Every structure is written in C-alpha cells, then in structure tokens.
Amino acid sequence: MFICWITVWLLKEGDKLMARKKQLVLMLLTIGVFGILNTEMGIVGILPSIADHFHVSIAKAGLLVSLFALAVAISGPILPLLFSGFNRKKVLLLVLGVFVLGNIVSIFASSFAVLLLARVIPAFLHPVYVSIALTAAAASVPKEEAPKAISIVFMGVTGGMVLGSPISSYIASSASIEMAMLYFTIVNVIAFIAILFVPSMPVEEKLSYGSQLNALKRSFTWLSIAAVIFINAAMYGVSSYLAVYLAAITHIPGKTISFMLFVFGGASIMGNILAGRLLTKSTAKSVVSFPFVLAAVYLLFIMMGRLAVPMALIMFVFGIAVAVGNNISQYCIASAAPEAPEFSNGLFLASGNIGVTIGTTAGGWLITGMGTPYVIAGGFLFLSLSLIFILLRNRIGQPAGFQSDRL
C-alpha cells in the first residue's frame, strides 16, 4: 500500500516538474522573441536621430523599418520551411547569434548603407525564430491548450513592440544612438544566453518540403491568408497613425500622447492573456466576432475621438483588441496547415507583414488625401473584407488534424 502511495505521489510530482519545465522553456523562448522585436521596432524611436547622424532624410531613414518588414514578408514562407528539418535549439541560437552580430555592426556602422545591411540581413531570419517559438509553444501543451501557450509567446512580441521604441528613444536622447544600438545588443545577448538553457529540440518527424507545400493547394489556406492580411491591414492601418489621430482630432499635447500610447501598449500585453483564454474556450465565435468587436471600437473613435478622457479608455480597449487580433491571425493560418507548423507560422508572419504594409499605405493615403478622420474609414473597409474571407473559410471548413470547435 505504501509503495502504491509513493508511486502515485512520484507520478504527480513528476507531472508537476514537467509542467514547470515546459513553462520555463516557454518563458525562455519568449525572451528571444522580445529581443528580436526590440531590434525590429526599437529603431522607430530613433529614426530622427539616425537621420541627423548619417545626414539622410527621414524618408531614407525609414528604409530601416520598411526594408526590415519587406525582408520578413519575403522570407516568411521560405526560410522556416527550409530550416524545419534541423534541431530547433541550434536554429534558435543561430538566429539570435546573427541578430547579435548585426547589432554589434550597427554600433560601429560608418555609413547608412552599412547600418541598413546590418538590419536587413538578420531580418530574413526573423520569421525562422518566431515560427519555431510559436510551434514549440503549441507543441508543449495539449492541442486544446495551444492558444494559451502561443499567447505567452505573443507577450514577447507585444512587449518588444511596446517597449523597444520608447526605451531606445530615451537612450538615444540621453546618450547617443550608439548606446541605443548597444541596448539592442545586450537584450539579444541575454536572449542568446537564455536559449542555451533550453533542452535540445530535435525534429521528431521530418516532413518533406513537398508535403508541407501541399497546404498551398487548399483553398482554405488561401482564404485564411486573405483573412489575416485584411485583419492586420484593419488593425495597423489605424494603430500606426494613433499619434497623428490623437494630435489632430483629440488635440492633446505630446506628453499626453506618449501616455496614451503606453496605455495602448500595456493593454496589448494584457490582451494576449485574454486572447489565449478566448481561443481555448470558444475558437469559432472568437474568430467570427472579432471584426464586429473592432468595428465597434472604431465607431467609438468616431463618436468620442475629440474627448481626451474617453479616448484613454478607448485606447485601452483598442490595445486589447489588437492583441486578440494578432492571436486570431496566428490561429487562422495555423489551422490551415496543422501538418506543417513551422511553414504555417512563416505564412502567418508573411501575411501579417503584407497586411501591415497595405494598411499603413492606405492609411497614409487617406490622411493625406482626405484628412485624418478618414483613416478610420480604411479600418472599416479592411474589416469588411476580413469578415468576408472569415465567413468563406468557415463555410469550407478546416482540414483534418486540427482540434478545435467548428471553424
């Protein structure tokens, strides 16, 4: 009897230890995602300083952002597929190593061209790391709990996007752009060290490239890609111009705008937790209802955009909605190609970046041609298109092999 009790106790403790180990691995992967997103988005906060330092225009300095995003969009469907057969831990270390080297070169860059190369080359490997992190997160828990695990990784994405720009801007204004680049380097070195503590992650079942590419033969995949493109266009076509909107419509000073953006960013981090729970409990309803929820938020922009206090609350809700939208986007693509997780996550990153490009371009045109309030019209348009493709993919039904409620 005693032996039986000891056996049961050991099994329970073993399960607890395994669960803690998986949680630790998730956090270590998230640190790496945070480091990479710091490098990607942190540069936004120091573009004016870079333009002055290298004597280039703001438009040319903006290439550090746009070409980074273009590299991610190009490599998203390709490099995760090519690296899918290698030990994941080694690939993660390779990617972070390249980012560290790129950051070091950026510190000592003697010209804008060198700085641009030091950013764009690592950018091609960005989807490799993030796709592996998302895949490993989903694989670390039962299928029905995958959205919660993935939402933890997305906290690293959101944290990097929210904190990277203000921190780098503060460092550059207080010290120099070289010190800001050093900050990026240190964060990625910490991430590299963190991954050293991750257990080896060999590929259990190596899929041929052809079998993974078969996902592109399904109309469900293409409908999912279209839905994700327009979801991201709807979100980032508006959120990219929040500072402009708050200044032109709400008429608040710069420091208050910074506070509003921090509210938006903080809410986005919290929104990842909510997204994980929503997608775990009611996947189909969460996906279909999202365009309506975001449309309601945009309607609040129109009704209360001139009032500072209500806008602070709206920014909080908007931040949560964007985080949920990011998680829904990842789910839509992952459910389209469950047999090829790295490839599907690469497609997600590529589709998301295409959506961001379309949304920000359209938003810029609307602001320039019609006025700042009309940026919301672009959000409504892209939400309408996203809903059409969500309903079409729902009608077709997802491929076998992805466990969730009917979608």
Residues 360-389 have pLDDT tens digits of: 888 888 888 898 899 999 999 999 999 999
Residue-level pLDDT at 10: 35
Tell me the C-alpha distance between 279 and 269, whole Å. 16
Residue-level pLDDT at 147: 77
Residue-level pLDDT at 15: 47
Mean pLDDT of 315-324: 93
Please answer whether residues 228 and 355 qualify as being in contact, where contact means their C-beta atoms are separated by less than 8 angstroms. Answer: yes
Higher pLDDT, 338 or 188: 188
Report pLDDT digits (tens) over 166-208. Answer: 788 778 878 888 998 999 999 999 999 999 988 888 876 666 5
- For residue 4, pLDDT beyond 50: no
Residue-level pLDDT at 20: 66
Mean pLDDT of 209-222: 74
Higher pLDDT, 350 or 122: 122
Quote the distance between the C-alpha of residue 55 and its chain's center.
Answer: 32
Q: Pick the most confident of 153-157, 191-195, 204-208, 330-334.
A: 191-195
- For residue 3, pLDDT beyond 50: no
Tell me the C-alpha distance between 159 and 312, whole Å. 20
Residue-level pLDDT at 273: 84
Residue-level pLDDT at 407: 40
- For residue 102, pLDDT beyond 90: yes
Nearest to 221, CA basis, from 357, 389, 404, 401: 389
Residue-level pLDDT at 11: 40
Position 209 confidence tier, pLDDT thresholds 50, 70, 90: low
Position 315 confidence tier, pLDDT thresholds 50, 70, 90: very high
Tell me the C-alpha distance between 186 and 107, whole Å. 12
In sequence order, what are the residues at sequence separation of 6 or more whose Cβ sits closer than 8 angstroms to the Cβ of residue 399? 218, 220, 336, 337, 338
Residue-level pLDDT at 272: 83
Half-sphere exposure of 404 (CA within 13 A, CB side): 26
Please answer whether residues 159 and 34 qualify as being in contact, where contact means their C-beta atoms are separated by less than 8 angstroms. Answer: yes
Please answer whether residues 321 and 292 qualify as being in contact, where contact means their C-beta atoms are separated by less than 8 angstroms. Answer: no
Mean pLDDT of 323-337: 88
- Sorted by where each starts, the structural domains of the chain and their CATH numbers stand as 9-203 (1.20.1250.20), 211-398 (1.20.1250.20)
Taking the complete model, does pTM exceed 0.75, yes or no?
A: yes
In sequence order, what are the residues at sequence separation of 6 or more whose Cβ sits closer than 8 angstroms to the Cβ of residue 382? 230, 231, 233, 234, 237, 358, 359, 362
Mean pLDDT of 136-145: 77
Tell me the C-alpha distance between 85 and 49, whole Å. 42
- For residue 69, pLDDT beyond 70: yes
Position 212 confidence tier, pLDDT thresholds 50, 70, 90: low
Using only C-alpha atoms, the chain has a radius of gyration, in whole angstroms, of 21
Q: What share of the chain in percent tops pLDDT 90?
A: 30
Mean pLDDT of 209-216: 66
Q: What share of the chain is helix, strand, coil (3-state, %, to 5)?
A: 85, 0, 15
What is the 8-class DSSP label of residue 198? Answer: S
- For residue 342, pLDDT beyond 80: no
Nearest to 291, CA basis, from 380, 362, 354: 380
Tell me the C-alpha distance between 236 and 69, whole Å. 13
Nearest to 142, CA basis, from 274, 56, 19: 19
Mean pLDDT of 211-221: 75
DSSP assignment of 82-129: HTTTS-HHHHHHHHHHHHHHHHHHHHT--SHHHHHHHHHHHHTTHHHH
